Amino acid sequence: MTEVFELGDFQTTTGYTIPGAKLSYKTHGSLSASKDNAILFPHFLGGAPEYVEMWIGEGRPLDPTKYFIVCPGQFGNGTSSSPSNTPPPIDRGAFPPVRFADDVIAQHKLATEQFGITEFQLLLGWSTGALQIYEWASRFPTMVKRLCCIAGAPKPSPWTRLWLRTVLEEPITSDPAWNNGFYSEGRAVQGGLRRMGHGAALTLPPPGFYREGHDVPSTLGFASVDDYVSRVWETYWLSQDPNDLLVQIRKAIAADPSRGGDMDATLRGITARTSVIAFTGDPMFPPADSRHDAERIPNASFREIPSAFGHLATFGFADDDRKAVDAALAELLAA
Amino acid sequence: MTEVFELGDFQTTTGYTIPGAKLSYKTHGSLSASKDNAILFPHFLGGAPEYVEMWIGEGRPLDPTKYFIVCPGQFGNGTSSSPSNTPPPIDRGAFPPVRFADDVIAQHKLATEQFGITEFQLLLGWSTGALQIYEWASRFPTMVKRLCCIAGAPKPSPWTRLWLRTVLEEPITSDPAWNNGFYSEGRAVQGGLRRMGHGAALTLPPPGFYREGHDVPSTLGFASVDDYVSRVWETYWLSQDPNDLLVQIRKAIAADPSRGGDMDATLRGITARTSVIAFTGDPMFPPADSRHDAERIPNASFREIPSAFGHLATFGFADDDRKAVDAALAELLAA
């Protein structure tokens, strides 16, 4: 069950106050007496603390019988402080801009004040979860023993920023029902949410995913490409509140642990033992870019995992992807 | 200057009549007395007969001092019969559905009735121009001596159909100003037209096109990725009428020279000497798919051209792309 940590009146790095702010989270396993078995695993865009659970399990590297795994939420995820659950005057379309730095500061408060954790054995994150853990590693380096970036980066590339705006932000803000965030209910913006799904279905898989006669959705049991787009991608976004999504989307667009400064220096300053994992054919975080990130981090290794799913490996559809990621995590945790 | 061929009352293959229908066209060079030097070069989506001129020139394979090059328009291109220029009751959003088969029938009338051409030395087309020439080769095989498909296919792939709907069709039809095609003026739908540009800019270039510090728009003289997206892609679509574009988009989605039948048999029936050209990293018409097309055509060769532009090679930005395409055309015309 998702729990809620009370942040009190939270001052954002962008210069606003969220009164009675909340951070949702979920934990797996028990914190040891010496508090030396904690892992932090923030979630990706459109997700929730539950969305990363397919990577956690007894006998696997993220083993809740060995580790205390904290899966924190983030502002805008609907269970933490978000446009959809915050009272006026900062409700809905008037929710203040926030950054991943704010999430990391809130997550740090949760870790230190609620649990008394002074060091994590591992921080890991997929996609925009990775954007958060790079912010963590640069902001609180002594608390991060190991870092695992999976299908992510410290900062989105120019293509990925264009993607976030074109595929996620604009379908919402251009919807006739959006009304600057003061729509009657989230489902009123259903057209925009569906179009986000179409764009994601189009752009996230690697080349060949839909190849006539050899398409991957068929192997997953879908009746057609349209069936897959509707059942997976329209469903994914329709379950979410548009303003909440915009908060997460805009954090991703603005992500930059160097704070407009020198990214080489920021990466050089990461002290954690780091593993950077990329997937063949992932346009969002291409292997060549991830390799370049790893080369700039002092104690980092890089690995590319061949996958028919590209960025969608995040969802763990394929046994091979799960095994390859688990192997990388086991190796990192043993080091 | 673009000329107009009067088609009279034109019955479409979809079961409608366009009274006083028109097909625009432009020619280069002169038809020989024996009418044995004609080339047909239809244009791609959002284009016009003028848009293919960068591939025509004295001393080049498409040499107007040697050949009579007919660049026909198509329904929905704004100068041929289109929603924007047809009187009620089939004006604007009420324009009937048409197919590339209708364009090819109209182009055939132009060729035979206006010019008395009985055989083309070459039919060539880029992108949706290629969709038209495959329809030509299957519908009027004896008139097509040589065929050159460049960054195209007989039929769009499942990914490409999803692209046509998501990136081109939905931004228009979801626009608050669209009003089922009865907008006050085309520019009223400017938001949707701009979003088409964003989606095209995002999805058409090959991987690495926007890579931080190595992006191609900088080498073309643009100030930033945003500058490129705005000046190239917003401009491209903003100059067009939304209903006219929808006609062209929907023809591309429906393109199928096998008419729902056996594509292998359709391709086996192509008698023209054929060259199929694809560009590395073109997601719209991937080299692997184009190779598969060429393998099914009796007298066809395939070549892949490495290009930093992928599908955008259509616009001839790069000297190397121009040289590689010209070499392929010269070889085909000499055969």
pLDDT of residue B190: 97
Quick: pLDDT tens for A54-87: 999 999 999 999 999 999 999 999 999 999 999 9
Average confidence score pLDDT of chain A: 96
**β-pair partners for A120:** A144
B/e letters for A269-299, b = 16+ CB within 10 Å, e = fewer, are ebebbbbbbbbebbbbbbbebbebbbeebee
CA distance A165 to chain B (A): 9
CA distance A115 to chain B (A): 40
DSSP classification of residue A167: I
Q: Distance between CA A280 and CA A291 in Å, rounded?
A: 12
Selecting among B103, B175, B256, B282, the annotated active-site residue is B282
Judged by CB atoms closer than 8 Å, whether chains meet at A158 and B229 is answered as: no
| Type of residue numbered B256 | D
pLDDT at A98 over 90: yes
CA distance B222 to chain A (A): 14
pLDDT of residue A187: 87
CA distance B95 to chain A (A): 25
Instruction: State which residue of chain A sits closest to B229, comparing Cα positions.
Output: A162
Judge whether B218 counts as a catalytic residue. no
Q: Distance between CA B318 and CA A96 in Å, rounded?
A: 45
Question: Per-residue confidence at A158, pLDDT binned at 50, 70, 90?
Answer: very high
Q: Which residues of A touch B157 (CB under 8 A)?
A: 210-212
Give the angle A227-A233-A237 at the CA atoms, nearest 5°.
140
Quick: pLDDT tens for B27-62: 999 999 999 999 999 999 998 999 999 999 999 999
pLDDT of residue A67: 98
A213 near B CB under 8 A:
no
Selecting among B24, B81, B84, B127, the annotated active-site residue is B127
| Type of residue numbered B100 | F
Query: What percentage of chain A exceeds 70 in pLDDT?
Result: 100
What would the mean pLDDT of A233-242 be, rounded to a whole number?
96
What would the mean pLDDT of B235-260 be, rounded to a whole number?
96
Question: Per-residue confidence at A212, pLDDT binned at 50, 70, 90?
Answer: confident
DSSP classification of residue B241: -
DSSP SS3 for B230:
helix
| Type of residue numbered B291 | R
B211 near A CB under 8 A:
yes
B203 near A CB under 8 A:
yes
Instruction: State which residue of chain B sits closest to A170, comparing Cα positions.
Output: B195
pLDDT of residue A213: 85
pLDDT of residue A191: 97
Count residue pairs from A and B with Cβ separation < 8 A: 86
pTM of the model: 0.94
DSSP A125-161: EETHHHHHHHHHHHHSGGGBSEEEEES--SS--HHHH
Question: Per-residue confidence at B171, pLDDT binned at 50, 70, 90?
Answer: very high
Judged by CB atoms closer than 8 Å, whether chains meet at A162 and B199 is answered as: no
Judge whether B311 counts as a catalytic residue. yes
**Helix (H) and strand (E) counts in chain A:** 13, 8
B174 near A CB under 8 A:
yes
CB B17 within 8 A of CB B9: yes
Quick: pLDDT tens for B97-148: 999 999 999 999 999 999 999 999 999 999 999 999 999 999 999 999 999 9
| Type of residue numbered A2 | T
For tokens 């293509």, name the residue. Answer: A159
CB B90 within 8 A of CB B16: yes
pLDDT of residue A206: 87
